[in-house]
Structure 1
Amino acid sequence: MPPKILLAAGPSENRSTHTALAPNPPPSHPPTPISSTLRVRIHIASWTGTPAPPTSGSSYFTHPLHRSDKFSIQFFFTPHEDVPGDELVISNTFDKPIRERLPVFFGAAWAALRWVDPGIQGEPYADCPEVHSRVLGAVNFLDVRGEVAGREEGVGVEEGAGEGEEREEEAPVIEEHMPADIPGTPAERRKHFLYYHQKEFTFRKGVEYRWDFCNGMMDFSDFSVKIPGLGFKFEMTKYWDQQPLRFVLKNINTGEVYGVVQFDYDQGLGLNDGSVIDGVSLEPGDAVADNG
């Protein structure tokens, strides 16, 4: 039986700053602010963790772009200052070593991940492991219409504005929208930014950028990972030491953290002040506290 997992988010890696966050919000629900620069919307197929989802997420997972996906974090990022394109990353960080817990086939799995995301970098065998990918060359769908509007008007697009605007009955999907001088499909854009052009792009102050980081590898119904190209999946519970699994948006050069989405072992402790977020109220003991 998979463990009970808590989903929470906040402005830093410190648990005490996190608030429980329910996945699969209604399509009409706006993204949830988790810091002064970042809002998120999360979809997880067959979620049985805490908090309980208000919907099944079917409007997302039945969309033609996401029928093979099981997991998604949508980011809505508005930086307070310019961020160079080669410095903005999504990172998985850990506080303690994981090398003793890695499966014997990890080398093959790591190679398969590098095949899916050639830009992934990091030190999984380090004392404080971290692996990361630059946003420009890694995310599945990237919408920079706020950048285009900002060039023309000095402001970003509003939520739901323009092509692809959301309506209550539609899936909350982020589609690829890039300037004319950048390849227009997700695969071409990732290739374009993989090695050579990241420094030419700037995430500009006050402009909202949206992207979807999604895949079909992580299955939270049985807490397993499907390894692309290897034809099998493994149960994470066999190798998990109950450290939080974090998705951190950060500046890889300065270390500044813009926001964190965290999957944690639900120890039945308490998080923040017992918190209400996204209209979801947790009963006492449904979340985690800052344990150091």
Structure 2
Amino acid sequence: MSMCIAVAGASGVVGRRLTELLHARHEVRSLTRSPEDAARRGVRGRLIRADFGRRAGLERVLEGVDALFVATFDPVDPRHDAHLAAAARAAGVRHVVKLSALAVADADAQDLVTRWQRECEHLWRDSGPTWTLLRPRSFMSNCLSWAGAVRAGEPVRALRGDTRNACVDPSDVAEVAARALTDPAHRGRAYALTGPQALSVRDQVARLGELLQQPVRYEELTEREALVRWRDRYPEPLARAMLEMAARQAAGAKTAVTEDVPRITGRPAATFETWARGNIDAFRPDRDPNAF
């Protein structure tokens, strides 16, 4: 049965893939701060300009929507989920799929980002519509942040590169989201989404080098160096939270592999090598970086 589905955060790595999965059978409203950028990125559906930091106008764009996917990204400004939840309730949205994080299930995880995700989950549980919570580990696509260095022949530099994370292909997360949005059997459920194997940064760098058929070097950052880098890109509280998350990974908190992806999709979760093969051109020296 065809539905009207809104995707909040449609330009994100999960949202973009989700619009591709849904648009052929459903009416998709792709909510994004920049429809122009979303169009360039290949986001499907009806592109709608939306600022989640402002409550005004959100109810109107959600009128007639059956199900809503929510991906928000600013733990320093938690208004986005509150505004979307109020608008969804007022517009009569019946079901919400919220992108969260697997760390929320770990009582020892008390960093800023994880506390914010927990608060968002509580907000959506109490918001009125039925809900599904998606809790992924780190996305394999985070490796794309290394692409510029690899193209330039420079080393990949990271903190605690020998620690492991059961990272997940964001396309798998999008497929689970598509099913949760359209099948009532997933209502009231929280899913832990991982890849099939816990890998370190060194492991991932080695795989990229094998696929590129050229050496890709890795260099370890100190905590101080990592913090300086993060401060250049993020507010201080978020940079500190990233340091705490790295410490939890070093303690082995992110290595467990779950079976929710294969159970829901009916196929094995994608390996890092599969993801890397599909995205290897982003790392080739002769590729245009603006194409990715």
TM-score, normalised relative to structure 2: 0.28
TM-score, normalised relative to structure 1: 0.28
Query: Going by fraction, where is strand more abundant, 1 or 2?
Result: 1
Bigger RCO of structures 1 and 2 (CA < 8 A, at least 6 apart): 1
